[in-house]
Amino acid sequence: MPAFEIRITEKKGKSLFASSQIKAGSVIFEEAPLISSQFSWNAVYGYLACEFCLRPLETAESNVRRLTNDYTISLPHLECCQIQEELSKHVKCPNCFEMYCSEECLQSALDNYHKVLCLGANRNDTNHPNNALVEFWKKTHYPPETSSIMLVIKIIGMFKQTNDAQRLRSQFSQFLSQTENQDLMIFHKMLGENFSQQIEQLYELICDAFDPSSDERLQWLTLSGFKSLLALIGTNGQGIGTSSFADWVRNVSDLALTEEQRESLDELIDRLYSKLDEVAGSFLNNEGSALYSTQSKINHSCVPNAECRFPYSNHHLQLTAICNIEPGQEICISYLDECALERSRHSRQKILSENYLFHCQCEKCENQINDSDETSEDEDDIEEERMDDSD
């Protein structure tokens, strides 16, 4: 029996609450997404990942060599890289040569959407309507990416391939719908100032690629329906990050080594991370986005009691308690990263309002309600001015 239940609340709508005591460190639930996709620019930059589950397809050594642009690097303890052992299981679609981490993932892709989306020999044809759509998206959505047009394409592929369009529509209708004004804010954030024109151009490209008028399963894919789908992935998409090098680091950290071996290994890891930071910056992981049925119902708190993890280095999500959660208590995660959580209340509210369209009323924000309305950047500028005045 699950340790949580979904409730409808007046302020937040669908929310997750503990139905029994959950101890810190406990796994609350695990969940595979309805759909997931690697970011388009991520693929361009050479991040090799399973087309279906986003599992890395390059070894830790290959990964760190590519990201540092230093192909002389040799990692010790290659047995700590699980991808090394899985290379023989990697497969390609026999028609388009898209890569998958296993036969199971290839079959799952074929069963869900890939039969109708497979481009075969046209995979690298920039004039093909599907590729033209992705290229246009990339030009309007530069890194760092927050969503992917491939989620839209795969969802359309699922509808074109399904024998039960009504069931599929029901699955996607569970996600929170926004008001028209909120949708406009999301579109502006995703596509920039000219979002109205770009949405229409995207829709024209969608029609070129899929001709919704010729398939009754795509009757919902009007311009309005496309806008709703775009807003859905913009507000409900959960980011995913996987890294074969980070997995190797975690695994070697668990090895039983002498003090001298541990010190040598730690020095190597520090040097590699410094070089990665210098060359690749913050783009260390293979990244993508996914839609999760249960996870999408978890609300934000600036003092979260749970967090999303990806323990299998793919799109399979695990929600874990980070402190004890009592029966009846709402289960919350943070939509902000650790650095943003440490910023001022005003800064946190600004980020949440711009990206998630809500005003946070968590315990931390309510306790800081009388704090200054300066953003963290403003506070930094004031502190610098004070330092200058004191010189």
SS3 45: coil
**Residue-by-residue pLDDT tens, the chain, 391 positions:** 788 999 988 777 889 999 999 999 999 999 999 999 999 999 888 899 999 999 999 999 999 999 999 999 999 999 999 999 999 999 999 999 999 999 999 999 999 999 999 999 999 999 999 999 999 999 888 887 878 899 999 999 999 999 999 999 999 988 865 555 566 666 656 666 667 788 899 999 999 999 999 999 999 999 989 988 988 888 888 999 999 999 999 999 999 999 999 999 999 999 999 999 999 887 788 899 999 999 999 999 999 999 999 999 999 999 999 999 999 999 999 999 888 999 999 999 998 887 787 889 999 999 998 887 665 554 444 334 433 444 4
What's CA 339's distance to the chain center, in Å?
18
d(CA 293, CA 185): 23
Edge to edge, what strands does the sheet with 306-309 contain? 27-31, 317-321, 306-309
d(CA 381, CA 386): 9
SS3 18: strand
- Assess contact for 54 and 315: CB atoms under 8 A: yes
Residue whose C-alpha is closest to residue 47's, from 193, 190, 225, 245:
245
Residue whose C-alpha is closest to residue 209's, from 125, 138, 111, 148:
125
Quick one: 151 exposed, middle or buried, by C-beta within 10 A (0-12, 13-18, 19+)? Answer: buried
0.85 surpassed by pTM:
yes
SS3 38: strand
